[in-house]
Amino acid sequence: MGRFGELRDILDKGRYFKVVCGAGNEDPEEVYCLSLVYTLAGALGIDVSANVDVVRASMRGIDRAYEIAPLLGAEIKTRPFVNVSVGLKGDPHVRKARIIEEHCTNCGICVEQCEQRAIEEAPILVIAHRCIGCGECAEVCEFEAVEFYTNKVYFYDILPKCIESGAENLELHAIIADDEAVMRDWKIVADTLPDQFISMCLDRSQLSDTRLIGRIRQAREIAGDRLIIQADGAPMSGGSDDFNTTLQAMATADVVLKGGIPLKVLLSGGTNSKTGELAKLCGLTVNGISVGTYARKLVREEISSPSFESDMDVIARAMNKAKWLVYENLKHITRD
């Protein structure tokens, strides 16, 4: 069947759970740990940034999961697909925070707020490779001392290297209004990976429902039956585990599905353990669920532990938490 057919089958049955390490997350150590834990937990997608070291770290995490699975009584039925995410300037997934020294009072409030542990104290400084651009630091800063910038990624150069390193899918984060710029980069993505699924991540912040469908129609013309639309609710907002947090993802997916264009749909942006259940309650037939902020937070304690690599009990604890999240979602959307 090949890997394309394998993934198509998984998507058609609603069996796809993707852990999102973060399109802006360039911390190989964290990506390694997340890949290991979520492979053991049964995730079939691992979303990483367009960085060769990060892709390799993810592959190492998956390989390590295969090595230790028998020790943990886990069975890995399908090797997860590593998906590389890239984004256009202006998309929140690919921005990074920077402190404006002249405005910063070194109060330290943002340090506590940053789930990624990406802000150092004395002096206050953002560790760029850990920052995922979530904006939580800016939310709590009363002094407007946080600004954002986009890391320029040269698609032509970096994407083939990521694929050589083991990535199998590509995703374009296109939460901006400029259709022309989006389609230019989408074409590059489609040409770089002609035989596998490619995904476009969209939300409704910049586009009316009509324009959203128009953009998807153009994306379909280029991608054909390889098209996945990742329907984003509120990007990187999945800190809480309730229905309200995941609600916007349903609204976006509903618009996408009503467009009637043949494609695969993933839910994302504010996703958590309630997402699959809410999709079912809303009568949405989706192909998979991508979880970022909540999935990372769930296992943060274990993967930050100094004994993570050597202590099987710590890994087992993380695996069981991750397994619960995967199961809670897929049990509501999987079909035969």
Reading the block at residue 90, the tokens are 């202006």
Total residue length of the chain: 336
Nearer to ligand SF4, 85 or 329 (CB): 85
CB of 221 or CB of 301, closer to ligand SF4: 301
Side chain identity at residue 86, one-letter code = V
Residue with Cβ nearer ligand SF4 (68 or 140):
140
- Closest CB 129 distance from ligand SF4, rounded Å: 11
Q: How far is the CB of 105 from ligand SF4 (least distance, A)?
A: 4
CB of 109 to ligand SF4, least distance (A): 4
Token pair for residue 246? 């995941």
Nearer to ligand SF4, 116 or 230 (CB): 116
d(CA 87, CA 95): 9
Toward ligand SF4, which CB reaches closer, 78 or 150?
A: 150
- Residues in contact with ligand SF4 by CB under 6 A are 97, 99, 104-110, 113-114, 116, 118-119, 124, 126, 131-137, 140-141, 143, 145-146
At 43 the three-state DSSP class reads coil
Comparison of 105 and 285: residue with beta carbon closer to ligand SF4: 105
For residue 27, give the nearest of 146, 135, 114 by alpha carbon.
114
How big is the chain by its Cα radius of gyration, in Å? 19
- The burial class, CB within 10 Å (0-12 / 13-18 / 19+), for 75 is exposed
Are 69 and 40 a contacting pair, CB within 8 Å?
yes
In the complex, what is the shortest distance from the CB of residue 329 to ligand SF4, in angstroms, rounded to a whole number?
Answer: 24
For ligand SF4, the closer CB: 117 or 211 = 117
Shortest approach of ligand SF4 to residue 93 CB, angstroms? 11
Considering beta carbons, is residue 106 or 244 the nearer one to ligand SF4? 106
Cα distance between residue 219 and residue 227, in whole Å: 8
Give the nearest distance from C-beta 50 to ligand SF4 in angstroms.
17
Closest approach, Cβ 65 to ligand SF4, in A, equals 26
Buried b / exposed e over 86-125, threshold 16 CB at 10 Å, is bbbebbbbbbbbebeeeebeeeeebbeebebebbeeeebe
> From the CB of 234, what's the least distance to ligand SF4, in Å?
14
What is d(CA 328, CA 93) in angstroms, rounded to the nearest whole number?
A: 25
Tokens for 300, please give them: 């943060």
Tokens of 161: 């290297």
Terminal-to-terminal C-alpha distance of the chain: 18
C-beta of residue 182 within 8 angstroms of C-beta of residue 172: yes
Which CB, 246 or 293, lies closer to ligand SF4? 293
To the nearest whole angstrom, how small is the minimum distance from the Cβ of residue 306 to ligand SF4?
22
Q: What 3-state DSSP class applies to 77?
A: coil
The phi, psi pair for 162, rounded to 5°, reads: -65, -40
